[in-house]
Chains A and B, each alone.
Chain A
Amino acid sequence: MLLFAARRLMLAVLVALTVSVICFFLLHLSGDLAQALAGSSSSASDVEAVRKAYGLDRPIIVQYLGWASRVLTGDLGQSYFFKEPVAKLIAERLPVTMVLGVCALVFAVALALPLGVVAALRPNSWIDRTALTISVLGQALPSFWFALMLIIVFGLTLRWLPISGSGTWQHLVLPSIALGYYATPAIMRLTRAGMIEVLASDYIRTARAKGLRAPSVLFKHALRNAVIPVVALAAVQFGFMLGGSIVIETVFALHGIGYLAWESIARADFPIVQAIVLILASVYVVLTFLADILNAFLDPRLRVG
């Protein structure tokens, strides 16, 4: 088990490293950063001055190694726009995005898992079709549109919940639903397919042959096996949600890192963009790692080797 965890951890670090390299090079190759920073109307000598001042004249490998070695000491650099440490700017906004992501994931799982189980119990019945419809709507609706509908119905018409800003838990309800609903179809379908397959398996027949009651057969014996692939999917979906939070944070005026990333791209605030990509990649990698560990806990066959 320890060996398994260590291996997964090494793989995870490798992935984060790769992502940071790719992102760094892509950002540098996507255009002339010095030109963008100096402004499109500035003279060639100004651009050169900016290039020198920000160290953009050095070879790209040197730039990357410089950045990477500073990151390892915990220094994410200075924002070009805010003239403040990137770490501080991100630290202020990261909790908003994380809390939003976790709430959205909890909402998605809480909706999709029961729907998937119920649908699997009576495949092709009206219950199944209703569950499918509910979840497919989540995928068919564009997330900004769905978010706006939520705002109109629950914020403006019914006046149950605040529609923008942050501060109380009520502020998180609509954004979490808007973000999480998007992940329900995939989770629900995988749960349903997993449950249908597991319920037809020989060991479920064995469980019933022992005389076990339905809840024990369903939850102890079936669901435990059916959720194994769902765990990995949920981790991937969480990654998508962090990406999707750019839209949702904008619609609900939540100042998380999704919103910050969007602003910073527009301002060519390269250190911030690079740092956010690194952080999102790390979060994603950590999550996948945790999912692997949870899977090994759920499925003893994965624990060896």
Chain B
Amino acid sequence: MTAVLEVEGLRVDIAMAAGALHAVRGVDLALAPGETLGLVGETGCGKSLSALALMDLLPRRVRRSARRMVLDGEDLAAASPRRMEDLRGDRMAMIFQEPMTSLNPAYTIGNQLAEALMRHRAVGAAAARDRAVELLEKVGITAAGERLRQYPHQLSGGLRQRVMIAMALMCGPRLLICDEPTTALDVTIQAQILLLLKALQREFGMAMIFITHDLGVVARIADRIAVMYAGEVVELASAAELFAAPGHPYTRGLLRCLPVPGRDRGEPLGVIPGMVPNLAQEIAGCAFANRCDRAADACRAAPPPWAPGAHRARCILAPRAVA
């Protein structure tokens, strides 16, 4: 089956007073229909910018470029801003980390939901309303008809995020990008939203990019996981393989930071010592070399190649680690 999304060499540069900040430095991604890709990494590693770049939602000072960026046969890299507007909300949709502020306080839920459909489909207000009710019910909101008349401030954070999900699904997108959709929510609601997203994905048959800094969350939802570090993907593997045999020292570091049921209560969680390199400069070798306890001279000399195979890690030590 052909991929829903293929991205090669995605770069995001932020214009700063002192020069460009290379926040995303050549990311490759591919998603099959119905697949969930988890995008994990520490805060600030470029996850959100990568997602916003795909949606063409970057702020004005921020530029995207890519060798190849194809959604469902449509070349996103060559698409005009107007064409991107046509695709956004229709073929690709996104939900965000901040449910409390992501809805417009001045309009009813119904208005904002209907608008998403009416922008892309030649449907009347009544049909859009019906679709809104249908989706609110699908995301588990009771008394959907009455909710349509409510304003965002009358809803809790969890409900607002459900509304955001419903809104993203109004046109039945091929790709849904979720940028830390549960980070701002209570733990119990987090779990509900994760289950909901998984169920909806199956029902709609859409591909999903699920962004989080929390490996524990991604383990529950992703088929494959891409680990990002300093604007690059450093490891890409199926969820099971990644947790069983992490190939990159950074991934191993992240896993040590994860609280697991078997671990002793008293044992402190691991932290990865050191600092993320300055992204304003070109990085000659492996970006993680300065924090890696196994770094050799070769690591600092040239960017490490991808280890071959389905489970790929960008580390010269990886083939040994995986094999």
Contact = CB atoms under 8 A, between A and B. Distances in A.
Interface of A: 201-203, 205-213, 216, 221, 224-225, 298-301
B292 interface: no
Contact of A203 (B55, B87, B88, B105): B105
B87 A211 contact: yes
Contacts, number: 67
Contacts of A213: 85, 119
A209 B106 CA distance: 18
A301 B86 CA distance: 32
A64 B171 CA distance: 68
Contact of B88 (A211, A225, A299): A211
Chain A binding surface, main DSSP class:
helix
Given A202-B98, A300-B151, A300-B153, A207 B104 contact: yes
15 contacts: A202-B98, A205-B57, A209-B168, A210-B115, A210-B167, A211-B89, A211-B119, A211-B120, A212-B115, A216-B119, A225-B104, A299-B105, A301-B105, A301-B151, A301-B153
A211 B88 CA distance: 5
Given A211-B88, A211-B119, A212-B115, A206 B105 contact: no
Given A205-B57, A300-B151, A301-B151, A211 B105 contact: no
Interface of B: 55, 57, 85-90, 93-94, 96, 98, 101-106, 115-116, 119-120, 151, 153, 164, 167-168
A301 B105 CA distance: 7
Chain B binding surface, main DSSP class:
mixed
Nearest to B120: A211
The 3 closest A-B pairs by CB, nearest first: A211-B89, A211-B88, A210-B89
Contacts of A208: 57, 88
Given A205-B96, A209-B168, A210-B88, 8 more contacts: A201-B101, A202-B98, A202-B101, A203-B105, A207-B104, A209-B96, A210-B119, A225-B106
A216 to B, nearest CB: 8
A202 B96 contact: yes
A211 B55 CA distance: 10
A223 to B, nearest CB: 10
B56 to A, nearest CB: 9
Contacts of A205: 57, 96, 102
Contact of B106 (A202, A206, A216, A224): A224
A140 B19 CA distance: 39
A301 B152 CA distance: 9
Nearest to A212: B119
B204 to A, nearest CB: 17
A209 B85 contact: no
Nearest to A207: B104
Nearest to A200: B59
A211 B90 contact: yes
Contacts of B94: 209
B103 A203 contact: yes
B109 to A, nearest CB: 11
A297 B200 CA distance: 36
Contact of B85 (A203, A206, A212): A212
